[in-house]
Structure 1
């Protein structure tokens, strides 16, 4: 429970506002729980600080709805909204705890969630049915701490940005959705290539190259899975001068799109890292962006952007 305010009732009880359960709770003055006013009902339809984005084989768009503690889903045209999840503990199947990213598994359309504050990956069917959850907070192989990014590689493995440990981890996924540790790469730090400081968004190209938003180092890095070589992309000025980039996504044509959150813009790069395009919103007819967080691509060429502080999802065409 996260108390934000309290008051006394006429009959001598205490009413407490519980921010994360979206609820009012009643207690006696001795601290005994009496009851809930709203039962932690889900908030009304809409998004509140939307983060990660995913698209399934039918073109449906999934959003990790951060403050609302849930996953939202829409058809490609924004119709037929549905949602699932609630603020809760790891012991409650289907609970969501500040999920930062979402990715759809090719072939199954299962939804994998980077459940950041629970230090885990959580798995749902595309209709919201809970499947499983896995991950333990720690620094050992396979442990994760505040993971903010998930992505599938062409070989079916899942890569996870383990921001609390300054690294990326790869997991093999079994038929039940559970991950088994394969490898980790990257180390905490700021000076060298391969050093990571709050690695966040992550995406994998068709050739297996892993792209990482190295957020607090104000840069993007790529990792060649075949050679183990890291390459840094950052500039002192211009299009590739990033400030707190939270998201990175490989487009179907192989170009790299960065959610350059601190500069309120998106940046397009060629696979060699050359930045060729940047937009802050008006150029796309979308108004000003306010901390864009993630970018996803639909099968029809649509580009989706989660615009955090404007509390919206934008759809554009390049």
Structure 2
């Protein structure tokens, strides 16, 4: 009896530090210092601590159970309500999360920060994750070529954003290519080979990751590796096949052919992926009068769109160079420059404005106008954060243009994990998004500000960003419904091709979607070179539980690599995949809130089922046909290049742990140009 009583007293008083530590008016577990804590408060403290630890381990269902036990002891505690909402949010049950957050907010807890979180999550549920494609842009920031009398670059003419948030800028006047980060700081500066660049006019990233620079005055193209080191020249000066005079802008199609607008020869030159000349087109033929001044160029599927600064129009050709039509009337543009493809439309730069041109109808929408000051925008390219990066040659500036709604809404910051196992050294993982769930990539240490109980932490250091990772963990779901049975060979080849494209890096899982989904394989991808469907234990079934398979696959990826995705191999609309246990909104939310995308490999050419289309689109996944000309090697590459706004930081804590029983509050603020966001949470140090 004495031993039992001692244990009870220990449990009761283990919660005292938690209650005493949280002293703000709107925090949970707040009691007067001179009052003896009740048994319910002590038991709630223990359950709460276990819930926080389970949450940071990615065991969200377990965390929900622990928080609900704590809430049973203290039904009106706001801190428990807040954490229960967090756990439900990460589990994909956003409706339940909003309910608990609303209760806490109505009790006066959380202030504007919690109200803003509720508003953003509610808006996502009502309007979805995407914003209106046709919306005016406004300047979110500008990177001048000169700062305090020091020249940084001159004559920015083209920009190539990278998936890690940085951007390459071709500087025409200073004959260089510079690499800028999201804050506008120069990370790298490349002047080309020994003889240097000769008026670089465009830069693009090729499918293999290399960079290609167009040198207008040099009458050639310079091939660089992914880091910017010179490899070789492509093309030479002249009028024959493979020769150019005054080349301006570049594009590449899905078969990796390179297209160059040859202004001096008034044509388009085409090279293969190795830089060998193929043919040229754009001369007068039939009813087409021929190109007069080809500038911008973009390739969309089988179509090639070319701007002409002499006629002020955009022409459409097929990939063989045959003229198809005039997309917009002559004189529509004053001086069109670069063309880029984004969200189903062409982004065209024209003097002092950036416009969107529908690639089907030719309808025009003005994204942004730079005003009446001297201006000549030459390139506008969307970046990984949903901004449009614009180069202004005359003003000598690089603009970051964002949708007005994003500038008003600010950033959505979430502290996702805290590892205090080596306390006082603490590691924190944060996710930064805009209010429409798009990750914010490319932040640096200077963009973060962390405090403990409103006091700045010491020795803050940015350890890394998930966007810089070059590998991913992949889970392949194989449709075991009878409708996919006739595609056995295609399924096996798809698994082998996806596994091979992982280059032996990362973990590959295989889940068979049968009546009851099961994990069939977990291990190295390079061990599946001889994969066969006969090795699967899951039998074929009339209807496969796709929702259970997606949930199972997602569960295994929660604690996987930061870049992760699910690849479903299925017979498209002809399958018998069912969604009975989980609704589509819950599935999509669970995957989105844990950075998991769904891509689909279709075994037939039928339309993809509505359910799969919804989940794939909601999670930023892609759809691939198994027999597409370029193969399936891009599946893993596309998953790796999906934006990830997850950052890891470390700091040294100065908080008192009371042998690991104190709840230690942590606040995080993130700043980027003229936007900011904030989150508040807490953690426990190890028990001693």
TM-score relative to the length of structure 2: 0.31
The answer (yes or no) to whether the contact 2:235–2:242 under 8 Å persists in 1 is yes
1:183 and 1:136 map into 2 onto residues whose CA distance is 10
Question: Mapping of 1:55-134 within 5 angstroms?
Answer: 77-88=135-146, 92=150, 95-105=152-162, 107-134=163-190
Matching residue of 1:185: 234
1:219 aligns with 2:267: yes
1:266 and 1:295 map into 2 onto residues whose CA distance is 10
1:173 to partner: Cα distance: 2.1
Question: Mapping of 1:142-291 within 5 angstroms?
Answer: 143-174=196-227, 179-189=228-238, 191-226=239-274, 228-236=276-284, 238-239=287-288, 241-251=290-300, 253-281=301-329, 288-291=332-335
1:250 to partner: Cα distance: 1.7
Structure 1, gaps ≥5 residues long = 1-57, 61-74
2:130 and 2:165 map into 1 onto residues whose CA distance is 11
SS at match of 2:310: helix
Matching residue of 1:295: 339
1:274 and 1:209 map into 2 onto residues whose CA distance is 16
Relative to its length, the structure with more strand (as a share) is: 1
1:83 to partner: Cα distance: 3.4
1:136 to partner: Cα distance: 4.9
2:199 and 2:235 map into 1 onto residues whose CA distance is 16
Structure 2, gaps ≥5 residues long = 1-128, 361-688
1:226 to partner: Cα distance: 4.0
User: For residues 65-121 of structure 1, what are the alpha-carbon distances to aligned partners after superposition, in whole Å with 9 as ceiling and x for unaligned?
Assistant: xxxxxxxxxx973334223232439x957x33111111222x323221110111011
1:127 to partner: Cα distance: 4.5
1:295 and 1:100 map into 2 onto residues whose CA distance is 13
Aligned-CA RMSD value: 2.8
1:130 and 1:227 map into 2 onto residues whose CA distance is 30
2:165 and 2:263 map into 1 onto residues whose CA distance is 29
1:155 to partner: Cα distance: 0.4
1:312 aligns with 2:356: no
The answer (yes or no) to whether the contact 1:233–1:240 under 8 Å persists in 2 is no
SS at match of 2:264: helix
Matching residue of 1:8: none
1:158 and 1:240 map into 2 onto residues whose CA distance is 34
Cα separation, partners in 2 of 1:134 and 1:193, compared to 1, 3 Å: same
Cα separation, partners in 2 of 1:80 and 1:307, compared to 1, 3 Å: closer
TM-score relative to the length of structure 1: 0.65
SS at match of 1:294: strand
The answer (yes or no) to whether the contact 1:98–1:115 under 8 Å persists in 2 is yes
User: For residues 33-75 of structure 1, what are the alpha-carbon distances to aligned partners after superposition, in whole Å with 9 as ceiling and x for unaligned?
Assistant: xxxxxxxxxxxxxxxxxxxxxxxxx999xxxxxxxxxxxxxx9
The answer (yes or no) to whether the contact 2:266–2:283 under 8 Å persists in 1 is no
Larger Rg: 2
1:193 to partner: Cα distance: 1.0
